[in-house]
Structure 1
């Protein structure tokens, strides 16, 4: 069983509501999303369909629509919605005192995969 190691990646205020910012990791870019309800999610920034930058997509509820071909992904599970198939990796996030933290152990596990 792995231990969660939280690393700080920025402030909640740095991400507009219904927007995203990216962090660069050894395995690629991770998009960090903020919903209208101030929920925060992190997923791979690459759509499995055609590699579109999900961070540039439209956030609606707890979902994001890829800007290239309108595939919709759950920010909670990473699963494609509707008739589309596929998934993106998700990363545990937490917010504390307005600061954002991501689980570094999950990032490292993704690098090893």
Structure 2
């Protein structure tokens, strides 16, 4: 069974500004590299942002290029779906992607790394 990871919280995390929310397209992801960490950031249709590892734990697919379906993003390589809330894959035997707390502050995307 795959361990479920919760978003990294404010405790022990460093708030990092990625850029303006206007750089994101609703319903799509965008990849960022911060200090060697690859993040996939998504602007959802409800106006919230979500962040997780940009690399699929299955075969290294680019999660930022995945299709959003409700509360998950589907890896474009093998169609595995990963929860925005927990990073868990909806399929048995596939590892979880680390998720990160994300928010919009004064029009800027902030992620706790």
TM-score range, shorter chain: 0.7 to 0.9
What is the aligned partner in structure 2 of residue 59 from structure 1?
68
Q: CA offsets, 1:72-97, max 9 Å, x none?
A: 00011100014453200011112112
Distance (whole Å) between structure 2 residues aligned to residue 43 and residue 61 of structure 1: 16
What is the aligned partner in structure 2 of residue 85 from structure 1?
94
Q: 2:109 aligns with which of 97, 100, 109?
A: 100
Which structure's residues are more often helix, by fraction? 1
What is the aligned partner in structure 2 of residue 110 from structure 1?
none
What is the aligned partner in structure 2 of residue 75 from structure 1?
84
- Which structure has more relative contact order (CA 8 Å, sep 6+)? It is 2
Distance (whole Å) between structure 2 residues aligned to residue 75 and residue 7 of structure 1: 19
C-alpha displacement at 1:39, in angstroms?
1.5
SS, match of residue 76 in structure 1: coil
Q: Number of aligned pairs?
A: 104
C-alpha displacement at 1:8, in angstroms?
1.4
State the Cα RMSD in Å. Answer: 1.8
Q: Structure 2 unaligned segments of length 5 or more: list them.
A: 1-9
